Structure 1
Amino acid sequence: MADTPLENLRIVLVEPSHPGNIGAAARAMKVMGLQQLVLVKPLRFPAPEALAMASGAEDLLNRAEVCADLDGALRGCHRVYGASARNRHVSWPNLGAREAAASLRTDLQAGPCALIFGRERTGLSNAELDRCQVLVTIPTAGCYSSLNLGQAVQVLAYEVFMAAGAESSPTGGILAPMAAAEEMEGFYRHLQGILQTCGFLQAPRETQMMRRLRRLFDRATPSANEVHILRGILTELERWAGKGKVDRKNQDSL
């Protein structure tokens, strides 16, 4: 498994309500060589039910990181995959489990990635899905498509494990460090603020427009250095706009 560093993959469970599902997810991860389990606001953890279902993966539960929000769970990740069966009005890159695993194989070589799973009943919210560059669906029979959380983790963990044993990416060369999730969020906040100030973003289409812009930049998979360049451009635009206001004031006073 040397071609793909599985230790770079972070499995994130958002607000799991059943401790047994946390234990089942840990067991699914361990048998497939995944080690990083992150929980965002679990309803009950630690809990005896989680230990019972872990069945040999207690060490993953003991090491599991518990975060107060998704920002903390994704810190340091340059690529985020979200498991979802929901239809979306805005087009996201949407891959099946096997295709997503192959894509992750390449992304993991560039640094830490996250695969996030939503709540047992409602899945991931729109705001949480906005944080994902790729949506992952597990193909099922058309008559019934509901998977238990632990089952979903098992399926995707298996596909990642199998993809990790395949040949390394044919692209070759050294991949530039990709921008981490928090760097991308900083860029998006910066961009949104400027677009609001100049009047480009206006209600009621502001949320939808920012979602489309996210998809645009997510498809580009910018490196950390490229995001710094983009932030520099935005900063210079702010300075230019501020200088323009001062110059107009001086002209008006003449």
Structure 2
Amino acid sequence: MSDPSFSLDQLRIVLIGTSHPGNIGATCRAMKNMGLSDLALVAPRCEVQTSDSISRASGADALLAGAVQHTTLEAAVADATLVVGASARSRTLPWPMITPRQLGESLPAELAGRQARVALVFGREDTGLTNAELQHCHRHVHIPTDAEFSSLNLAAAVQVVAYECRLAWLAGAEHSRSDAAPFGIDWDNPPAEHADLERYFAHLERVLIAIGFHDPEKPRQLMARLRRLYLRARPDTLEVNILRGILSAIEKRTGGR
């Protein structure tokens, strides 16, 4: 059996605002079951290392101890080339939605380059992810539970998604590296990292305000829609540099700074 087309080390689980230590420990166990080891915690609302979390980790203590804490989602996914947010409810602004199975099937292409990283983001136990947090994600993943009882425990949701990722990894030997390239071809530049896209969005908003196209007092979801457009397009590093160059030229021509 040849090597899989991607490494499970390229996957990161991100938990935002977790309020129960046991859920963090149970998430560690779910991750270790599926061979995942990269856990990021964003502004947890509880102590991470407790007797409950260690007990629920059930042998995944090293993963729990190695979890990296961040104050913002942006910091936790800065180097990710694809960010997928778990969403259990429909939003006022539709976003590309996939199932865990579709997510798994996309991984050989998304992780064909060894510098590629996929961040899988899960929200708070009580409220999930905010609209603003979901707008940082290229796609949303939805677990098709029974509509009459759709609420999933946080660790259970991680387990379902991680399981589909593992299935895709196990099936990776069936795919050649050339077949796994983004968009079905050997792309000439790597996908832009999340941090680069965030700098672009900030630059774009600044220019749109300066030229009078965007009024932050009456946003009309403009930036959210532009985020959706560019995240759906998946620009690569050179394309983002070109886009920022265009913005800089506009600023120069209009006397902006």
Match of 2:47 among 31, 44, 47: 44
Q: Which structure features the higher share of helix residues?
A: 1
| Residues 49-86 of structure 1, C-alpha deviations (whole Å, 9 max, x = no match) | 11101111111112110111112111211110000112
Alpha-carbon deviation of 1:109?
2.2
SS of aligned partner of 1:212: helix
1:182 aligns with 2:182: no
Q: Distance in 1 between matches of 2:14 and 2:166?
A: 17
Under a length normalisation based on structure 2, what TM-score does the superposition of the two structures give?
A: 0.90
| Paired position in structure 1 for 2:61 | 58
Alpha-carbon deviation of 1:165?
2.0
1:116 aligns with 2:117: no
Aligned sequence identity (%): 44
| Paired position in structure 1 for 2:223 | 210
State the AA in 1 paired with 2:37: Q
Q: Distance in 1 between matches of 2:217 and 2:151?
A: 34
Change over 3 Å in CA distance of 1:125–1:112 after alignment to 2: same
Alpha-carbon deviation of 1:48?
1.4
State the AA in 1 paired with 2:21: P
Change over 3 Å in CA distance of 1:190–1:174 after alignment to 2: closer
Q: Distance in 1 between matches of 2:92 and 2:187?
A: 36
SS of aligned partner of 2:136: coil
State the AA in 2 paired with 1:19: P
1:143 aligns with 2:148: yes
Alpha-carbon deviation of 1:204?
5.1
Residues 209 and 216 in structure 2, CA contact (< 8 A), matched pair in contact too: no
Q: Distance in 1 between matches of 2:250 and 2:210?
A: 12
Under a length normalisation based on structure 1, what TM-score does the superposition of the two structures give?
A: 0.91
| Paired position in structure 1 for 2:106 | 103
| Paired position in structure 1 for 2:247 | 234
Alpha-carbon deviation of 1:203?
4.8
Alpha-carbon deviation of 1:172?
5.4
Identify which range, 16-25 or 41-50, moves more after superposition. 41-50
| Structure 1 residues 145-164: aligned runs within 5 Å | 145-164=150-169
| Residues 89-111 of structure 1, C-alpha deviations (whole Å, 9 max, x = no match) | 21210001111221233212230
When the two structures are aligned, how many residues end up with a matched partner?
243
Change over 3 Å in CA distance of 1:57–1:183 after alignment to 2: same
Alpha-carbon deviation of 1:136?
0.3
1:130 aligns with 2:132: no
Could you say what the CA RMSD is over the residues aligned between the two structures, in angstroms?
Answer: 1.6
Residues 32 and 158 in structure 1, CA contact (< 8 A), matched pair in contact too: yes
List gaps (5 residues or longer) in structure 2. Answer: none
Q: Distance in 2 between matches of 1:73 and 1:26?
A: 17
